[in-house]
Amino acid sequence: MKLLVTGRQGQIAQALAGLIRPDVTIVALGRPDVDIRDRISLDRAIARNRPDIVVNAAAYTAVDKAESDSVLAFAINAEGAGHVAAAAEAAGLPVLHLSTDYVFAGDKDDAYRETDPVAPLNVYGRSKHVGELAVAAANPAHAILRTAWVYGPHGTNFLTTMLRLAGERDSLRVVADQRGTPTHAGDLAEAILIAARAVTAAPKAENWRGLFHVAGTGETSWAGFATEIFRQSAARGGPSAHVEPIATADYPTPARRPANSRLDAGRFHTTFGHVLPHWTSGVARCLDVLDKAAP
């Protein structure tokens, strides 16, 4: 099975590229070779690589910057997503598209299901929702995987940012009234691979099409997330800091965030027979990778 993955420099594409399976080939592409805003570049990449399935992991993810850069955010997250799905459809291929918990308003008491209405609070969330609609309209053979609070050892994310800041400060103020389901990029990559196998094994089936929530097991707040990162880091002799829990109102940002980002991944489990590990185990595995990479 060959996967063509867009967004080569992103966390998810890097995690997929790091998977080693004897029967799987991952072709991760990004600019300048492929720009999802350019449909022609996508058509050429698919024709050149002849994949079995296309995974769109490319995204504009600078949530706060998107508030003043909406044109680019929509060009990548909405129009670009549609281009990827359309290019896959033209080649007779299914597409897996990555989306986000930020399509929700965060005012539900329980974890969000795929059937819950969307109401994004910020430009990023709106652009990703429009992207979901574009993917569904462009390619009937689609599965849209919403995920949340992705972290890993590569790139800039909450875990790597917390460790960097802990090397500079003794105490950090972290929001405690936003809750979510942290998702290790490596675990998400495994889930994508499992879904891709099911899709390519039964390309005409209907059960794998549509919306799915895919996130780590367990839930926490940003402050709880930071506390666990520092607990595990300190146990290894790594950077750590005191966490001071604060309210969202005490840490204003250009983009509003949902207070509840928890995702119910029950449909993914029922369809693909897979549950992601607890998010705290992902923290341990991330720290393992970072420890090995340290000079």
- Positions annotated as catalytic residues are 124
**Type of residue numbered 219:** E
C-alpha dist (Å) from residue 236 to 162, 182, 291: 15, 21, 9
**Cα 66 from Cα 104, distance rounded (Å):** 17
**Does the N-terminal peptide bond of residue 258 adopt cis geometry, omega within 30 degrees of 0?**
no
User: Quick check: 243 and 223 in contact, CB under 8 A?
Assistant: yes
Residues 6+ apart with CB under 8 A from 201: none
User: Helices 185-201 and 279-293: crossing angle, nearest 10°?
Assistant: 110
Half-sphere exposure of 125 (CA within 13 A, CB side): 17
